[in-house]
Amino acid sequence: MTDSTAQRDLWPAPGAPAAVDATVPVPGSKSVTNRALVLAALSAEPGWLRRPLRSRDTVLMAEALRTMGVQIDETVNPDGGEAWRIIPAGLHGPATVDVGNAGTVMRFLPPVAALADGPVRFEGDARAYERPLHGVIDALRGLGARIDDEGRGSLPLTVHGAGSMAGGAVEVDASASSQFVSALLLSAPRFNKGLELRHSGRTLPSQPHIRMTVDMLRKAGAKVDAPQDGGAANVWRVATGALLGRDLTVEPDLSNAAPFLAAALVTGGRVTVPGWPRRTTQPGDALRDLFTRMGGSCELTDRGLVLTGSGRVHGLTADLHEVGELAPVIAAVAALADGPSELTGIAHLRLHETDRLAALAKELGGLGGDVTETGDGLRIRPRPLHGGVFHTYEDHRLATAAAVIGLVVDGVQVENVATTAKTLPDFPELWTAMLAGDPVPGAGSGPVRAQG
């Protein structure tokens, strides 16, 4: 958590005038969009990406691939929504990539850059220089890449692409981030000897995201052996081979559905999220179980997922190791519950956009909450909350968590709500429309441009 006391851009979080009753089309998944862009860029033929998420993280990914020579044309689906045509080409350096503070960009692209025919420089936000990258750097070196990081083990750095990568067997400790594993797997079909990757750390967070990587690789034609199919624990094997161009429609971002579903829960209302997939690797699907345990009821219908609040919100004892992304909104709901909560398995959240455990304890505490950090999570004892400024530390999920509190606590002011643009552009508009009960259009449109 960096100091963020500036009182800039205070957004008065709107209170819910009544129980929320709305249908909220949630924009596309960040994790699916950015994997699909990487796989399409590495493919042997052009592909389509329909209803991609257009947000800071995905625009940065698209821009980065363009700077390395990939063509990404933006068109519109006949039925509305965007369709991006990705036309792969030889990957070129010199190039400079701005990763912003996107974990997916800073981790998924160094292996891609190792395949380019010249140096690729990686820069980003100040926080990006603090987030762990050593697993990717060390593993790439072990696989034959030359990387100049001036001994930091983090950004900024230059990958001196040699036009190809040897590949082979390598070990990585991915206990700090599952994205180390995903990053190496995504580019592995293009390595001359493929990849045998062994995770050597004690824990491995966010495993649904690794399953998403494996699933998407296979759908692009890659041959992958993975622990999820009963293979050896912590070992993934990817064969070398050409990737196919796909025509992929992106699912709604189920993690970003969390604040909207939480609105139904804490106001005793009802929210429908259209297009909720019946089968998915997204960790956000766990919300159905978690929010049911917290007092809601969920129904997966042809119209989407319907969450109905009961008017009561219960505390939750849960290990969120697999679904850490959901923790900020769950912590906010827990602060409004009728009993205590204990959230465990999320020590790695200290390395996310900000130190999320410290930030949640401090900011919920600042509104009168009783939230303490434990070794690997948060202990939350609900008590009456009051208004105040909720600092967000340039963390989109802190901002959406604060909005949930603001529904039922007067006078909550969210600092820099614009930070939600990292993965959820137009969040304030979607939120206001939900409160008005208006169905609102999905993701915005316009040209792909990196935002500041």
Ligand X SMILES: C=C(OP(=O)(O)O)C(=O)O
- Pairing of β 270-273 and β 247-249: unpaired
Among 82, 98, 253, 325, binds ligand X (CB under 6 A): 325
Residue 182 binds: one of ligand X, ligand S3P, none (C-beta under 5 to 8 A by kind): ligand S3P
| Contact flag: residue 103 with ligand X (CB under 6 A) | yes
Query: Residue 397's binding partner, choosing from ligand X, ligand S3P, none, with beta-carbon cut-off 5 to 8 A by kind?
Result: ligand X
Single out the residue of 423, 425, 320 nearest to residue 380, CA to CA: 320
> Which position's Cβ is nearest ligand X?
103
Q: Does 104 bind ligand X (CB under 6 A)?
A: yes
Catalytic pick among 82, 251, 322, 325: 325
Least spacing, CB of residue 385 vs ligand S3P, in Å: 27
Identify which of residues 318 and 409 has a Cβ nearer to ligand S3P in the complex.
318
325 is catalytic: yes
> Alpha-carbon distance 155 to 148, whole Å?
10
Nearer to ligand X by Cβ, of 320 and 409: the residue is 320
| Residue 190 or 352 having the CB closest to ligand X | 352
- Report what 187 binds from ligand X, ligand S3P, none; CB cut-off 5-8 Å by kind: none
What is the C-alpha end-to-end distance of the chain, expressed in Å? Answer: 20
User: Is 30 annotated as ligand-binding?
Assistant: yes
Taking the least distance from each CB to ligand X, the nearer of 88 and 284 is 284
Q: How far apart are CA 93 and CA 99, in angstroms?
A: 16
Binding mask 337-376 for ligand X (x = CB under 6 A): ---------------xx-----------------------
The interface region with ligand X, picked from 9-17, 83-91, 101-109, 413-421 by CB under 6 A, is 101-109
Q: Which residues bind ligand S3P (CB under 6 A)?
A: 31, 103-104, 177-179, 182, 205-206, 209, 324-325, 348
Nearer to ligand X, 391 or 397 (CB): 397
**What is the residue type of 402?**
A
Q: How far is the CB of 312 from ligand X (least distance, A)?
A: 28
Q: Which residues are catalytic?
A: 325
Site of interaction with ligand X (CB under 6 A):
102-104, 325, 352-353, 397, 423
- Binding-site residue set: 30-31, 35, 103, 131, 177-179, 206, 325, 352, 356, 397, 422
